[in-house]
Amino acid sequence: MVEREVLTHEGSLMFVKVALKKGFYGDVDQHVHEQVSYINKGSVEFEVNGITSVLKEGDVQYIPSNVEHRVKVLEDCIILDVFTPIREDLIE
């Protein structure tokens, strides 16, 4: 239900394309990286630090460092994620 493609990781930034299927409900995540998520296609429900927002194509979600967050996919979607610093755990 999740496909990730690291598009680039240079300097202290990482750009990742994530394809998620409708019905996916992620576990609570928390990491030291700052994250910006751009909804390229579809719609999702983001819960960030206990606040829930429904995002659709063209919307952006900022996730601060060390803040709990999770995603629920309402429609098949493509999300473009930017992380700083680079998430070593996503590099193959």
pLDDT, tens digit, 9 for 90 and up, residues 54-88: 999 999 999 999 999 999 999 999 999 999 999 99
Count up the domains in the chain and report the number: 1
Instruction: Give exposure, 2-32, as e/b (b: 16+ Cβ within 10 Å).
Output: eeeebeebeeeebebebbbeeeeebeeeeee
Tokens of 15: 């750009």
pLDDT tens, position by position, 6-37: 999 999 999 999 999 999 999 999 999 999 99
Residue 92 has pLDDT above 90, yes or no: no
Residues 6+ apart with CB under 8 A from 51: none
CA 44: distance to chain centroid? 10
Q: What is the pTM of this model?
A: 0.94
CATH of the domain at 62: 2.60.120.10
Residue 48 φ/ψ, nearest 5 degrees: -125, 115
Which domain range does residue 51 map to? 2-90
